[in-house]
Amino acid sequence: MSFDIAVTLQRGHVRMTYEFAAGPGLTALFGPSGAGKTSLLDAVAGLVRPIEGRIAVSGATLFDRAQRINLRPEKRRCGYVFQDLRLFPHRCVRDNLLFGWKRVSPDERWLGIDVALNLLGIGHLLDRMPATLSGGEAQRVAIGRALLSAPRFLLMDEPLASVDADRREEILRLIERIRDELSLPILYVSHDRAEVERLAQQIIPVEPAHSAA
Ligand SMILES: Nc1ncnc2c1ncn2[C@@H]1O[C@H](COP(=O)(O)OP(=O)(O)OP(=O)(O)O)[C@@H](O)[C@H]1O
């Protein structure tokens, strides 16, 4: 299994439960705004602590309340492409890309910088600051930063949200290449049915939170 998840999260007064086991490739969490898709990505990344349950990725347990396992985010080896990207605004594209790269040991890196620049088509942007990038360029840099941190899996939160309609196809093709060429498990959030039907091997419906605490 790539993602093996059975957890309960508490956000404010809302309690959300998720249970699924996903195979390889791209798994889409699909549901309306506020249903709890981002909260689950945050829990898999280790940014939100579940109140109950277990999270395993590719056989490695990241969280297990019963066994008192809760790996720190930096130990989870996860590449997280945030919905709002969160590029470091005061660092140029090169330094954004190298941020995670510098923090993993060379024997754990599986993607070369030149290969990444070529895959993402961002070699000409290295000296630019994030504020000067278009939505599509910034999205590609954010994906590059995640991939260069040598992740074992990828979390992508609405990666088309800040992309112009005419750049959408370009980013969709890029995500397909990442899915097909890098053989990295991907947990992907979207509320767009056509998008998830095109990209996902498996679609997990996320319903709006049902129970109040
Ligand atoms: N930090 C927080 N404190 C309190 N409640 C929160 C917090 N973050 C999220 N929530 C609540 O948890 C629920 C799920 O939110 P979440 O952002 O995970 O949904 P989502 O499906 O990703 O929505 P969207 O597509 O709008 O990003 C919502 O009811 C939201 O109001």
ipTM for the complex shown: 0.91
Q: Given this model, what pLDDT does residue 200 score?
A: 97
Q: Given this model, what pLDDT does residue 19 score?
A: 96
Q: How far is the CA of 51 from the centre of ligand 1 (A)?
A: 16
* CA–CA distance, 15 with 212 (Å, rounded to integer): 6
Is there an atom of ligand 1 within 6 Å of 94 CB? no
- Which amino acid makes up residue 171? I
Is there an atom of ligand 1 within 6 Å of 35 CB? yes
Q: How far is the CA of 212 from the centre of ligand 1 (A)?
A: 13
Name which residue sits closest to atom 16 of ligand 1, judged by CA: 36
* CA–CA distance, 32 with 41 (Å, rounded to integer): 15
Q: Given this model, what pLDDT does residue 213 score?
A: 47
Q: Are 114 and 192 in contact (CB under 8 A)?
A: no
Q: Given this model, what pLDDT does residue 210 score?
A: 52
Q: Are 204 and 29 in contact (CB under 8 A)?
A: yes
Name which residue sits closest to atom 28 of ligand 1, judged by CA: 34
* CA–CA distance, 37 with 75 (Å, rounded to integer): 22
Q: Given this model, what pLDDT does residue 211 score?
A: 53
Is there an atom of ligand 1 within 6 Å of 15 CB? no
DSSP assignment, residue 51? Answer: S
Strands 69-70 and 78-81: unpaired
Name which residue sits closest to atom 17 of ligand 1, judged by CA: 38
Is the pLDDT confidence value at 167 over 90? no
* Residue 82 in tokens: 């945030």
* CA–CA distance, 45 with 114 (Å, rounded to integer): 27
Per residue in 131-161, pLDDT tens? 999 989 999 999 999 999 999 999 999 999 8
- Please name each of the domains of the chain with its CATH number: 3-212 (3.40.50.300)
